[in-house]
Amino acid sequence: MLRFVFRRFFETIPVVLAAVTITFFLIRLAPGGPFTDERSYPAESIRQLNRYYGLDKPILVQYARYISGVVLRGDLGPSFKYPDRTVNEILAETFPVSLELGAYALLFALLLGLGAGIAAALRPNRAADHAVMGIAMTGICVPSFVLGPLLVLAFSLGLGWCNAAGWITAGDRILPAITLGAADAAYISRLTRGSMLEVLPQDYIRTAQAKGVPALRVVTHHALRNALPPVVSFLGPATAGLITGSFVVETVFQIPGMGRMFVSAAFNRDYTLLLGLVVFYSLLIVAFNTLSDILLAWLDPRVRAHSER
């Protein structure tokens, strides 16, 4: 298992490097720059700013300096939009917010998805099964930028139960978590239902039922454990997506997280902040995918044996 973890770690290096390299050169090709906004800067001021931040150097020199700073010192550079703060400081401030939002969304997706999938599998091809799968398909089809405003319209403006935006009280977490986790809950419910339908007819399940094992224990201890591998495989990229893909949700609900900061950096041509977020997002995605593979190997001995070979 340690060899597997180290192999995955070294495999991430070229992936992260490729993502940073592509982003570095693409944002340079985009029209405009970090100091060409609606304000009119004097030409001499722009030249001094470019000289101060090293933007007057050849692009390959800028790339080499940035990569060396990230690799050797872990320094993601200063922010062009927030000159009194570094990218490392901005990430340290916004990452806990996105992590908290992603954790709530994942918890919502797991509880709703597993519960709905199990309920549908225990009543296959019946009204409950069709209802659950219909709601799941709706959750997959409705995008977050539609679901979020609808929830705000119903529960904030209509019923007044939650604030329409912000990240202050405990109630402010509910609507963003539901909006972000709804699609993953739908996928998890469908995966759980399909896996449970394959496991429930197995001989060892019928043997446990014949021995008089309580139905709840048969489902949770015998059936669900062997039905979880497809869900665990999905959870790796899903967890990374919940934390790194909250651009729309954080923007709609005005949440001060990394997703909202990413959108702001893209609009403001804040090169260093945008690159720093890409580096951080890439590392998060690889880390969660690796963790998912480790959990899958722990659940399924066949995966563990294959990785050893």
Whether 304 is covered by a domain: the verdict is yes
Q: Which residues contact 93 (CB under 8 A, 6 or more apart)?
A: 256
Whether 61 is covered by a domain: the verdict is no
Token pair 């995008």: residue:
143
Distance between CA atoms of 75 and 73, rounded to whole angstroms?
A: 5
Please, what's the largest Cα pairwise distance for the chain?
Answer: 85
Domain that holds residue 158: 95-268+286-308
Closest to 228 in 3D by CA, of 146, 176, 295:
295
Q: Is 220 helix (H, G, I), strand (E, B) or coil?
A: helix
Closest to 113 in 3D by CA, of 227, 204, 248:
227
Q: Which residues pair with 86 in a beta bridge?
A: 78
Q: Which DSSP helix (H) or strand (E) runs through 299?
A: helix 271-299
Q: What is the model's pLDDT at position 5?
A: 66
Whether 102 is covered by a domain: the verdict is yes
Q: Mind listing the pLDDT tens digit of every residue in the chain (309 residues)?
A: 667 667 767 777 787 788 888 888 888 777 766 776 655 667 777 778 778 777 778 888 888 888 888 877 877 888 888 878 888 888 888 888 888 888 898 899 888 888 888 888 888 888 877 888 888 887 778 777 788 888 888 888 888 788 777 788 888 888 888 888 888 888 888 888 888 888 878 887 778 778 777 877 777 777 777 777 778 777 777 777 777 767 788 888 888 888 888 888 888 788 888 888 888 888 887 777 777 777 766 666 665 555 555
Whether 211 is covered by a domain: the verdict is yes
**Domain of residue 160, CATH code:** 1.10.3720.10
Whether 33 is covered by a domain: the verdict is no
Q: What is the model's pLDDT at position 256?
A: 85
Q: What is the model's pLDDT at position 301?
A: 60
Q: What is the model's pLDDT at position 217?
A: 79
Q: What is the model's pLDDT at position 11?
A: 72
Q: What is the model's pLDDT at position 4?
A: 65
Q: Which DSSP helix (H) or strand (E) runs through 297?
A: helix 271-299
Whether 66 is covered by a domain: the verdict is no
Distance between CA atoms of 262 and 161, rounded to whole angstroms?
A: 29
Residue type, 194: G
Q: What is the model's pLDDT at position 2?
A: 67
Token pair 């902040």: residue:
273
Residue type, 260: R
Q: Where are the alpha helices (DSSP H) in 30-126?
A: 43-53, 59-68, 87-122
Number of domains in the chain: 1
Q: What is the model's pLDDT at position 300?
A: 62
Distance between CA atoms of 9 and 162, rounded to whole angstroms?
A: 42
Whether 295 is covered by a domain: the verdict is yes
Whether 6 is covered by a domain: the verdict is no
The answer to whether 242 touches 180, Cβ cutoff 8 Å, is yes
